[in-house]
Chain A
Amino acid sequence: MSSAVFSTSAAQGRPFVFDSEIRDEVCPQPSGAELFGEARPPRRVVSTISNAALKDARLAEVTPASRLAARMAPEMVPSGIAEMDALTGGLPRGCLTEICGSASSGRSTLLLAALAAATRRGEFCAFVDASDALDPQSVAAAGIELDRLLWVRCGGNSQQVEPRLEQLMRVADLLLEGGGFGMIALDLGDIPPQNARRIPLATWFRFRRAVEYTPTVLLTIERQSIAGSCSSLLIKLGSLKLGSSELSMSNSQYPAPTHAQLLTKVQVTAELVRSRMDRKPVRSAEITFASRTAWAAG
């Protein structure tokens, strides 16, 4: 074997063949079927080679890393909240993003802000609501263009969780297959974690593959992370705490009657748990921002 043959075949990605070992087939023993059939012309075959050479032959089929096509980094779009964009760089197109947290952690606030930013860009968005929990007044207050938002309300009159989840998955499949949406949001915020975890990982993997190489942002909100490694971005929101300045009240120094108090803003704490957007090591980063209530936002 000459080294020249080895390097040429490897560079061209072909299994390499030793010219000196190609020979005409020795007349084989005819089988019963062949005795009565037409005579076949002799074949030129590669002779048997050793195990080490076989291994080398397989390695030659592997494309060198230097020739692998570079995967383009996904396009990042604004989330609608400047602090979040500073933390994550935005929301990636063609990827699955998870936002998890407990109730009152700010998940829906973040979700509606992202939808508002998407509709402002002129994109159409779909909101698949597993618990039928969307508040139209909050949608309007967040600045979402109502005509550009498709709302799918799962569950109907049934309060059972399983049928809602099944509907959500099937609707998500249909929307991803149809395509054309700038953002598809799946709201599992009120689904108990033990039920949400029963969604197979294969389903999330299928969603991820469906949205890959499309301009769609796939966003889910839930109580705990359930998509595993299928999500490219995982943001965890901290629970609301009382006793600090996180609940802002009009007169916090002196206790005031209830009718004089007003919920004006809620502090949201967000932590970037996982990001596959860049090659730097993932570091946990936290940010805090305030969300104002609709009557305080003006």
Chain B
Amino acid sequence: MPFACIFVPDFPVAAVLRAEAELRTQALAIFEGRPPLEKLFAVNESARRIGITPGMTKAQAELCSELTLRSRSRLQESLAHAALLDCAQSFSPCVEDAAADTVILDLAGMESLFGSLSGIARNLFRRAVELGLDGSVAVASNPDAAVLAARGFSGVTVIPAGKETESLGSLPVEVLFTGGPEGEKKEDAQQKESARLLATLERWGIRNLRALAALPEVALSERLGQEGLCLQQLARGSASRTLVPVEAPAIFEEAVELEYPIVLLEPLAFLLNRLLEQLCARLAARALNTQELRLTLELQNLAGVDPHLDIFGIPSESDASHDVSQKAAPHFISGRQGKFCRTLSLPLPMLDPKLFLKLLQLDLNAHPPGAPIQKIHLAAEPARPRSAQGGLFLPPSPEPEKLELTLARIAGLVGESRVGSLELLDTHRAEGFRMRRFVPGAIQERSAQENHLHKKDKPAGERSAVAALRMFRPPLKAAVTLENGQLVCLACAKKREVQGNILWKAGPWRSSGDWWEREAWSRDEWDIALQNAEGVTLFRLVHDLLGGGWFVEGTYD
């Protein structure tokens, strides 16, 4: 049974490079510890070439002008590890989380799906690079041989079955004792034992795995005991064990902590773009889409901010929005940092980072954070991709992705609560409706299910037109003249064409309701005809019985 191993060398450095790709070509070192005693514990290859080694103090490293220093970010390391697991899980359901920088996959049965072992190894390597991790991939007939090959050889390595001893022979014996990223604390006893064994092998002149594999087993066991035999089995590539698979949680989050707070939307968009691409790549690796994005911005305490600094502009006032997908405006806790949360709900599962970025930009333009940003956290709720069967003769419908962007832009122009579809409420009150989200996709799915009901509808010829009413919002206040209780003439101060003698009238039609509520209503409605310059116009006149006013509510048109 073949096994594959993905190993990311200098894992803390790789985690930082995943967040700041522009540092790849530079010498980079990661430090940790309390000031002023910070020490380097991980460096990349470029830093090693100029003489920087782990263990140096930060003060010593700062003397080197070519070196870029970053503090250790456990957040980035956990995100990079999650990405590594996603990469492995996209190729095999059986994945062992061997270390923060090492994962092992069981490739049994995968050749029929993904092709040859060398093809799988290359695809693994490419997928890891797409997720921002430069690592090594090795395939062997047992997990330990794959791990040794991945840690010892760079790039892609495929060891044919039965050739483990020969292939691993050139590796130094130190590879048997490296495990986990630098800085991970092992037990002292384990460290001492490993150091003792390594020193013993060095004294014997054993430099590589070939030499260790060639030692007589009995003599080795007499001198080094069971540990020595285990090491020899590893060197021969003949150790076999079963994987301990891990169920990777379906949590898709990306975050970045900023060295300096940002105050402009443009650099924020740049960072969001990177996070979205990483997030979408991880979702794509697991063949998932997303239907909800949650953006959390940690804001700097406003007390420390220059009051003259224009931060994202003035936050817009929240209007009465019926859209429950948008969370509340930011809240600030005095003396500590505040959090600004926005939730982007999508009508259908999607996976387009450019679209997501545009929607987030439009949302942030409409609801700016109002304070400098120190940390960005982006989470995606995974969802199964939608499966839609298009038809050749179906009526036209908007593309979900394009429509979502169009609606977001329109909402930015007219307001979120002023675009959508209608929903009538179960009431006779005037304006008894509300706006809700316009989602064509859900309607199409419902229509496809209801098609079999064979609804018969009247053809157009048998259907008569229904006279429509055009509303005045708000209703026009009117001054009405009565004679013997009859409506005689009408005048509206705000609209000149709504005035004149009343030529014809019908009514009143009384309606009332909600008498058990505080907002009870009672009104008389009249249909009237007025003569004006354009001709005769039909209006609906309303007399508010509770408030006592007269209003022109609309025109029959």
Given A108-B468, A148-B443, A292-B465, answer yes or no on A174-B406 (Cβ-Cβ < 8 Å). yes
Residue B527 CB within 8 A of the other chain: yes
Residue B447 CB within 8 A of the other chain: yes
Q: How far is the CA of A127 from the CA of B503 in the complex (A)?
A: 33
Given A109-B467, A291-B467, answer yes or no on A178-B398 (Cβ-Cβ < 8 Å). yes
Contacts of A8 in B (CB 8 A): none
Q: What's the minimum C-beta distance from B474 to chain A, rounded to whole angstroms?
A: 9
Residue A232 CB within 8 A of the other chain: no
Given A146-B421, A179-B402, A182-B395, answer yes or no on A132-B473 (Cβ-Cβ < 8 Å). yes
Q: What's the minimum C-beta distance from B323 to chain A, rounded to whole angstroms?
A: 14
**Pair B468/A263 contact, Cβ less than 8 Å:** no
Residue B169 CB within 8 A of the other chain: no
Contact digits for A203-231, partner B, Cβ 8 Å, 1 yes 0 no: 00000000000011000000000000000
Given A153-B418, A179-B398, answer yes or no on A291-B535 (Cβ-Cβ < 8 Å). no
Contact digits for A257-298, partner B, Cβ 8 Å, 1 yes 0 no: 011011101101000000000000000000001111110010
Please tell me which stretch of B219-227, B296-304, B433-441 contacts chain A, meaning at least 4 of its Cβ atoms lie within 8 angstroms of it.
Answer: B433-441
Of the four ranges (under 10, 10 to 19, 20 to 34, 35 or more), the interface on chain B belongs to 35 or more
Residue B99 CB within 8 A of the other chain: no
**Pair B410/A147 contact, Cβ less than 8 Å:** no
**Pair A139/B555 contact, Cβ less than 8 Å:** no
Please tell me which stretch of B38-46, B274-282, B326-334, B455-463 contacts chain A, meaning at least 4 of its Cβ atoms lie within 8 angstroms of it.
Answer: B455-463
Q: What's the minimum C-beta distance from B401 to chain A, rounded to whole angstroms?
A: 10
| CB-contact partner of B465 in A109, A139, A153, under 8 A | A109
A-B contact count (CB 8 A): 227
Given A121-B395, A181-B396, answer yes or no on A242-B465 (Cβ-Cβ < 8 Å). no
Given A146-B423, A150-B438, answer yes or no on A189-B529 (Cβ-Cβ < 8 Å). no
Contacts of A131 in B (CB 8 A): 470
Residue A120 CB within 8 A of the other chain: yes
Contacts of A235 in B (CB 8 A): none
Given A122-B394, A174-B410, answer yes or no on A135-B506 (Cβ-Cβ < 8 Å). no
**Pair B463/A189 contact, Cβ less than 8 Å:** no
**Pair A150/B419 contact, Cβ less than 8 Å:** yes
Q: How far is the CA of A85 from the CA of B421 in the complex (A)?
A: 28
Main secondary structure of the interface of A (DSSP, over half): mixed
Residue B358 CB within 8 A of the other chain: no
Contacts of A81 in B (CB 8 A): 460, 465
Contacts of B397 in A (CB 8 A): 123-124, 180
**Pair A80/B418 contact, Cβ less than 8 Å:** no
Residue A154 CB within 8 A of the other chain: yes
The interface size of chain A toward B, counting residues with CB under 8 Å, comes to: 83
**Pair B508/A240 contact, Cβ less than 8 Å:** no
**Chain B interface residues toward A at CB < 8 A:** 394-399, 402-403, 405-407, 409-410, 413-415, 418-424, 431-433, 435, 438, 440, 443, 447, 457, 460-461, 463-473, 486-487, 497, 503-508, 526-527, 529, 531, 534-538, 554-557
**Chain A interface residues toward B at CB < 8 A:** 78, 80-82, 85, 102-113, 117, 120-124, 131-143, 146-156, 167, 170-171, 174-175, 177-182, 189-190, 215-216, 239-242, 247, 249, 258-259, 261-263, 265-266, 268, 289-294, 297
22 A-B interface contacts by CB (under 8 A): A80-B460, A102-B537, A108-B557, A124-B396, A132-B418, A132-B473, A133-B472, A133-B554, A134-B470, A135-B468, A139-B422, A152-B410, A154-B418, A156-B414, A178-B405, A181-B396, A182-B396, A247-B536, A258-B526, A259-B507, A291-B467, A293-B467
